[in-house]
Amino acid sequence: MYRGEAAKVLAGAKVGERVRIVKGERSYEGVLMPRSELGDDRHVVIKLDNGYNIGVEISGARVERLSPAEPRRQAAFPEPEFLPEKPEVTILGTGGTIASKIDYATGAVHPSFSTAEIINAVPELADIARIKARVLFNILSENMTPKHWRRIAEEVVKELNGSACGVVVAHGTDTMSYTGAALAFMLKNLTKPVVLVGSQRSSDRPSSDAALNLIAATRVATSDLAEVVVVMHATSSDEACAVHRATKVRKMHSSRRDAFKSINAPPIGEVREEVKLFGSYRRRSEGEVYADTRLEERVALFKAYPGVDPELLEYCVDRYRGIVLEGTGLGHVPEQLFPAIERARDEGRAVVMTTSTLYGRVDMKVYSTGRRLLNLGVIPGEDMLPEVAYVKLMHVLAVAQDEEEVRSLMLRNLAGEITPRTLPDTFY
């Protein structure tokens, strides 16, 4: 988006038009490219005929419009042919880097999510399954809401109760663990795999992880698993992808390809040429899947820190039915928050304790602060990740009949979110 002096010099020229920029005795000719909204207003960017982009400082420049922008043409890919004996896998697009491609004519990013486009980009998928792809919506993952979680759950159920052997959900990585947890709690009687997948680096980059992640996710969707999982790079190289239980995984790095790690539990599988599952997991079975999409959205995730203003927590008690505390260490918060927590108890609000350390388990009986919080009715969150406890409390408050049931369900392992102190031989 051009503004200020750059917009004046362009005199109405639009992105995609061919222009000539004349500065003194020199001139530059190419396609006018978009400009970041954070860019200054002193430069214009064009794509030269050799494919390189350059920025031209516009003081003393004149812009000549040579030809209008060519309409963006959608590349026509032939409909892929699948082997009939292969299982069917549905890929649902919700946005994110993995579902995008660069239009090099304009520099814009566009969703790329038809079956033909996916097979053209990753032809190996046709050797694994009969792919059916469609877009539910195309948003940045930070804009995900419970409304989107419900829609994904409903569409997953349709596919699993239809002809799909498994479902892959392509998702932006930043909030993938929230969506994964929501699906894990909402999908009931799950009999087939539901696999969330994304990419840290877009497909136009040589270091992209998109293709390998998608191949591995599709393999997992045809496996013996019957859980909601996240499949992403296991290491920074292209050796393998890890299979993480959706209620135990977190994005632990902003940009590394192996950003996703299982917390307080090992991954439940690995994908190289084949899928290798290990440990306790729910296995594929028969029966209809259904979704309980009830979620109480009046839940807050509150981080405790030194010097925190008690009024912030008082505000949450006023507005929300449930509060997940991200406390310190074994599950502590500053004493100045105690009156607000006591009021929350007296008014029937659910308060759950988790820890900011992420690794380890809440144990509120060790120190006096924790014991006082237990006496105030705080529910220990065991080893649940704060965001998982947040999503779980939304689910539990929507389905529980009373305060005792809320406590009981929060302490019960519903979807693998709590690691038993002694690991069982069979899945929870």
DSSP 90-106: EEEE--SGGGEEE-TTT
Q: What is the DSSP letter of 14?
A: -
Q: What is the DSSP letter of 124?
A: G
Q: What is d(CA 338, CA 310) in angstroms, rounded to the nearest whole number?
A: 9
Q: What is d(CA 350, CA 312) in angstroms, rounded to the nearest whole number?
A: 17
The active-site residue out of 174, 191, 224, 357 is 174
Residue 30: strand, helix, or coil: strand
Was domain 88-291 assigned CATH 3.40.50.1170? yes
Q: What pLDDT does 51 receive?
A: 80
299-410 has the same fold as 88-291: yes
Positions of E strands within 211-331: 228-233, 241-245, 249-251, 260-262, 269-271, 275-277, 290-291, 299-303, 322-327
Q: What is d(CA 124, CA 103) in angstroms, rounded to the nearest whole number?
A: 23
Tell me the domain boundaries of the chain: 4-67, 88-291, 299-410
Positions of E strands within 100-257: 100-102, 109-111, 130-135, 166-170, 187-188, 194-197, 228-233, 241-245, 249-251
Residue 382, burial from CB neighbour count under 10 angstroms (0-12, 13-18, 19+)? buried
Fold of 299-410: Rossmann fold (3.40.50)
Model pTM greater than 0.75?
yes
Ranges in the chain, pLDDT < 70: 37, 70-76, 97-113, 204, 422-428
Strand partners, 379: 352
The active-site residue out of 115, 173, 218, 369 is 173
Instruction: Mark 163-175 as b/e (b = at least 16 C-beta within 10 Å).
Output: ebbbbbbbbbbbb
Active site includes 97? yes
Question: With contact defined as beta carbons under 8 Å apart, do 386 and 357 qualify?
Answer: no
Residue 249: strand, helix, or coil: strand
The helix (H) or strand (E) run that includes residue 387 is helix 386-399
Q: What is d(CA 168, CA 211) in angstroms, rounded to the nearest whole number?
A: 14
Q: What pLDDT does 313 receive?
A: 98
The runs of H, that is alpha helices, within 222-354 are 310-319, 338-346
Question: With contact defined as beta carbons under 8 Å apart, do 110 and 97 qualify?
Answer: no
Question: With contact defined as beta carbons under 8 Å apart, do 51 and 107 qualify?
Answer: no
The active-site residue out of 90, 94, 97, 222 is 97
Q: Which CATH number fits domain 4-67: 2.30.30.520, 3.40.50.2300, 1.20.5.50, 2.60.120.380?
A: 2.30.30.520
Q: What pLDDT does 68 receive?
A: 84
Q: What is the DSSP letter of 223?
A: S
Active site includes 145? no
Cα-based distances in Å from 301 to 70, 320, 369: 48, 10, 20
The total of other beta-carbon atoms located within 10 Å of residue 188's CB is 13
The total of other beta-carbon atoms located within 10 Å of residue 297's CB is 12
The identity of residue 118, as a single letter, is I
Active site includes 174? yes
Q: Which two tokens stand for residue 400?
A: 């529980």
Active site includes 101? no
Q: Which two tokens stand for residue 307?
A: 């010097």
The active-site residue out of 192, 251, 261, 392 is 251
Residue 285, burial from CB neighbour count under 10 angstroms (0-12, 13-18, 19+)? exposed
Q: What is d(CA 234, CA 404) in angstroms, rounded to the nearest whole number?
A: 40
From 201, 269, 259, select the one nearest 229 (Cα to Cα).
269
